[in-house]
Each structure stands twice: as structure tokens, then as C-alpha cells.
């Protein structure tokens, strides 16, 4: 009897011991539930939330990918219609801070830093409005942008400013604004990628879009505790759940392999032979392009 | 006159305190030394005391890494650190996919280039050699 109870307990513990994300050995799948139970999202510790916030890839990576694919720079992808002086709610300000942060990353990576001054002013205004302006070293970033001489310093300061803002918001009971900023960055990066893939249907870019499924659940975990805060939050949550639905049938599978190591110039080079494979139809991709554009443009226009 | 001088001094001090920016020279040097072909992505600042008998690396953080990207992980330690900053990275199956420290030879690499072909969330683990006390920064860059 005791042996049966022991094995039953073991089965129960193993079943519930995994975190929300579930990855079997060969495929990434969303957890079973269609929506994140609020109680589960609220249980996340500050450390878990910080981990999730850091997981979300930087827009600089998308821009880096586009450069690698030799996609020409285009101003038309940027959120030029955002007027920082007209944003009225903290929701809109934090969201736009994220969106414009992604645009700044794009401009910096393409070294179009001379065009970034208006954007920097908008970012400064938005940051000051939500009382995190002290973390954005506007004058130094502006000077580096104008000099065009030190891209690394510019990237470092820009990214570091955003990370300080995010950390400050989370540790000062303003996690809802941090979540909005992070989602804004991600949405704008996703918009950039989906708009470019419409014109330059590169497989690497398609795969990167498909692979965003991996972190989409984390985005939902970040925002779930706030979905009932206001109509704006509810609308955003609904948008993200709809996006999750569009990703549901996109498959990501994995092949196994051992890494290959070599030494070069005093360092180590590791080449991964494991791969991730994205299976996504043209129709599924078009669905993502469409919904991303809808969500992003609605957020830009505050609708 | 004395009051004016004190007031101005206080205001200037307050101005410096409120700046909210401190560019740590260790961080900025490590970023600059990542290489001319590297573009800054992220950094992790690590400060640890002497370990008490643990074998796992103590500073843990997660990061998404994407296929078709070459990352450079650069490790920089302060001069007064007793050990050198080391890194290993595990995938979501808890498998070590790279380590900047060779346990067999005791060799530490100041940087590791990782050619990523499998997108996912990876766990970055940092510590100082032999669990020593140390202060350092791990910089993550993208390399062409």
C-alpha cells in the first residue's frame, strides 16, 4: 500500500514539476491551456519575471539579421507617426517607449544615427513622462549619434538605458509599465521582420519569425497579471492571445548533434550541430504578417 | 556669500547624484575589447564571494539565442579578483553546450564564439575559477 502511495506521489510530482513552458525532446509546443491562468502568472517570483524580461530578444538582433541578409534600410518601417507630446496615458507612453526603442535599435544597427535625433527626443519625452528619464543619457547618446564614430558605445548606452528603465520599473511596483515596454519592443521587432519578409522572402527570416513562438508564452506571462487593469490592457491581452492562436499550428522541431569545438585567436569557437527546424506554410506566415501589422498599427494610433 | 557657495555646491552634488548613469570602466572596457567585428547585445555583471563547496556555477541567467547567429561571450574580471570569470551554457534539456573553462587542463578562454543553429532559451552560468571570490562582467555580442 505504502509502495503504491509512494509511486503515485512520484508520478504527481513529476507531472507538475515542469515550468509553464513544455518542450519535448523533438518539438516545441505551447502548454495545454489556451490562456494563462492569472493565479499562475501572479505566482511568478521577481527573479522569474526578471528572467522572462531578459529572454525577450533585443530588436538589435532582428536588425542585425536584416543587415546580414543585406536588406536595405528603409525609413518606412519606423513608427514615424508617434508624437510623444500627444500620448496621454501611461499605457501608451510605456508602449511607445518600447516601440521607439526598437526603432532606435534599427537605426543604430544600420548606422543611420544622424536620423535618430528626433527619435531620441521622443524617447526622452516619453521616459520623462513616466518618470524614468534619469536612466536615459540623452546628451551622451545624442553626441555619439551625431559623431557616428563609436557604434559600440552607442549600442551599449542605448541598450543599457532601456535595461535600467526596465529594472527600475519592475523593482518599484511598476511592473505593468515594464511589461508594456518589453512588449512594445517585441511587437515592433516582429513588425519589422514581417514587413521585410513580405518584400524579401528569405528562409532565414521566415524561420526567425516562426521561432518567435518560443517566447510568445513568456510575453503572455509578463502581461497576464495586468489584463484586467483597464480596457487598454484587456485589448492588448486579447491581441496577444490571438497572435498565439496564429502560432499554434506552426511547428518547431529539433535535430540532435554534438557541438564541434576549435581554438581561434586565443578563444574558443563552438559550432552547434543541433538544429531547430520551422515548419510554416505561406498561409500561416501571411496570417502572422497580417495580425502583427494590425496590432502594431493599432498600438501606434492608440486605437 | 558663504550661503550661496554652500547652496551651489549642494545643487551641483545633487545634479551628479540624480544623473542615474554610471558607466563602469570594467564594463565599458570589456565591451570595447569584444572585438571590432562584434556588436554589443547584453552584459551581465557578476560579483561573488568564495564558494563553500558547491560544484555548480553560481550566477545563473537565461537568454534567448537564435539560429543563424554567431555570438561572442567575452569574460572580463577585475584585477583584484581571486579567480577568473568563467562561463558555461546549457540548453533547455540541461545539457552543457559550451564551457569557457577546461576542467582537465585548467585552461580558461577569455572569450567563446558560439555559432548557434538551434533557437531557444539557454541558461548562462557564470562563476570564478575554483569558486573563488571575484568581480567581473560577461559581455554578449553578435559577430559577423
Q: Is the pTM for the entire model greater than 0.90?
A: no
CB atoms B117 and A207 under 8 Å: no
- CA A70-A71-A72 angle, 5° bins: 105
* Residue B133 burial (CB count, 10 A): 14
Give the tens place of pLDDT for each residue, B78-119.
999 999 999 999 998 999 999 999 988 889 999 999 999 999
> What mean pLDDT comes out for the span A129-151?
84
Residue A173 zone, left/alpha/beta (φ > 0; ψ -120 to 50; rest): left
Alpha carbons B40 and B19: distance in angstroms, whole number? 23
Better-scored residue on pLDDT, A303 or B97: B97
| Nearest CA distance, A303 vs chain B (angstrom) | 31
Given the C-alpha cell 551622451, which residue does it identify?
A: A140
Percentage of chain A exceeding pLDDT 90: 51
B residues 79-118 lying closer than 8 A (beta carbon) to A = 91-93, 97-98, 100, 109-118
CA-based nearest residue in chain B for residue A67 = B144
CA separation for the pair B16, A163 (Å, rounded)? 21
ipTM: 0.84
Q: Which residue has the cell 562563476?
A: B127
pLDDT of residue A16: 40
User: pLDDT tens for residues A261-274?
Assistant: 999 999 999 999 99
Query: Is residue A250 very low, low, confident or very high in pLDDT (cuts 50, 70, 90)?
Result: very high
CA angle A260, A261, A266 (to 5 degrees): 160
* The pLDDT of residue A2: 64
Better pLDDT: A40 or A176: A176
In total, chain B counts a number of residues equal to: 144
**Dihedral over Cα of A125, A127, A133, A139: its sign:** negative
Quick check: A81 and A75 in contact, CB under 8 A?
no
Grid cell of A23 as nine digits: 518542450
| Mean pLDDT score of chain A | 85
Q: What is the rounded CA–CA span in Å between residue B20 and residue B91?
A: 35
pLDDT band at A35 (very low <50, low <70, confident <90, very high): low
Q: Nearest chain A residue to B108 by CA: give it.
A: A267
- The arrangement of strands across the sheet holding B59-65 comes to B59-65, B120-128, B85-90, B96-99
Among A99-113, B6-20, B26-40, the least confident range: B6-20
Q: pLDDT tens digits for A185-235?
A: 999 999 999 999 999 999 999 999 999 998 898 889 889 999 999 999 999
- The pLDDT value recorded for residue B74 is 97
Q: Evaluate if residue A290 carries a pLDDT over 80.
A: yes
Length of chain A in residues, anyone?
303
Contact A262, B108 (CB under 8 A): no
C-alpha cell read off for A240: 496577444
CB B120 within 8 A of CB B112: no
A contacts of B39 (beta carbons < 8 Å): 60, 64, 109, 151-152, 155
Cα–Cα distance measured from residue A123 to residue A103, given in angstroms and rounded to the nearest whole number: 10
Q: Is residue A287 predicted with pLDDT exceeding 50?
A: yes
Contacts of B110 in chain A (CB under 8 A): 266-267
Amino acid at each position: 500500500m505504502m509502495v503504491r502511495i509512494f509511486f503515485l506521489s512520484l508520478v504527481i510530482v513529476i507531472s507538475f514539476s515542469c515550468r509553464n513552458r513544455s518542450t519535448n525532446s523533438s518539438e516545441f509546443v505551447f502548454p495545454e491551456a489556451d490562456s494563462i491562468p492569472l493565479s499562475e502568472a501572479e505566482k511568478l517570483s521577481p527573479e522569474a519575471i526578471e528572467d522572462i524580461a531578459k529572454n525577450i530578444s533585443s530588436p538589435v538582433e532582428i536588425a542585425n539579421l536584416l543587415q546580414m541578409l543585406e536588406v536595405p534600410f528603409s525609413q518606412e518601417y519606423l513608427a514615424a507617426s508617434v508624437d510623444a507630446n500627444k500620448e496621454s496615458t501611461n499605457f501608451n507612453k510605456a508602449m511607445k517607449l518600447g516601440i521607439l526603442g526598437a526603432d532606435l535599435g534599427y537605426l543604430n544597427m544600420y548606422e543611420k544615427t544622424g536620423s535618430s535625433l528626433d527619435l531620441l527626443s521622443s524617447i526622452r519625452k516619453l521616459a520623462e513622462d513616466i518618470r524614468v528619464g534619469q536612466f536615459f543619457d540623452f546628451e551622451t547618446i545624442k553626441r555619439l549619434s551625431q559623431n557616428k564614430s563609436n557604434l559600440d558605445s552607442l549600442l551599449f548606452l542605448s541598450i543599457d538605458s532601456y535595461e535600467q528603465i526596465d529594472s527600475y520599473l519592475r523593482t518599484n511596483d511598476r511592473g505593468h509599465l515594464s511589461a508594456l515596454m518589453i512588449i512594445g519592443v517585441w511587437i515592433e521587432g516582429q513588425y519589422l521582420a514581417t514587413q521585410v519578409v513580405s518584400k524579401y522572402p528569405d528562409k532565414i527570416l521566415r524561420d526567425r519569425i516562426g521561432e518567435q513562438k518560443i517566447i510568445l508564452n513568456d510575453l503572455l506571462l509578463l502581461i497576464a497579471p495586468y489584463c484586467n487593469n483597464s480596457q487598454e490592457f484587456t485589448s492588448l491581452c486579447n491581441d496577444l492571445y490571438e497572435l498565439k492562436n496564429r502560432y499554434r499550428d506552426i511547428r518547431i522541431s529539433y535535430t540532435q548533434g554534438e557541438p564541434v569545438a576549435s581554438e581561434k585567436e586565443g578563444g574558443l569557437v563552438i559550432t552547434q550541430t543541433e538544429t531547430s527546424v520551422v515548419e510554416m506554410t505561406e498561409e500561416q506566415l501571411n496570417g502572422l504578417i497580417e495580425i502583427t501589422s494590425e496590432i502594431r498599427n493599432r498600438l501606434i494610433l492608440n486605437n | 556669500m558663504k550661503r550661496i557657495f554652500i547652496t551651489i555646491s549642494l545643487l551641483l552634488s545633487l545634479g551628479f547624484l540624480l544623473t542615474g548613469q554610471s558607466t563602469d570602466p570594467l564594463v565599458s572596457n570589456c565591451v570595447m575589447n569584444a572585438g571590432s567585428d562584434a556588436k554589443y547585445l547584453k552584459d551581465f555583471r557578476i560579483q561573488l564571494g568564495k564558494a563553500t563547496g558547491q560544484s555548480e556555477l553560481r550566477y545563473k541567467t537565461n537568454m534567448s539565442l537564435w539560429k543563424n547567429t554567431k555570438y561572442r561571450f567575452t569574460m572580463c574580471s577585475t584585477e583584484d579578483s581571486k579567480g577568473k570569470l568563467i562561463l558555461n551554457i546549457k540548453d533547455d534539456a540541461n545539457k552543457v553546450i559550451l564551457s569557457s573553462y577546461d576542467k582537465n587542463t585548467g585552461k580558461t578562454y577569455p572569450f567563446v564564439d558560439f555559432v548557434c543553429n538551434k533557437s531557444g532559451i539557454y541558461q548562462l552560468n557564470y562563476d570564478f575559477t575554483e569558486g573563488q571570490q571575484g568581480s567581473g562582467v560577461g559581455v554578449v555580442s553578435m559577430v559577423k
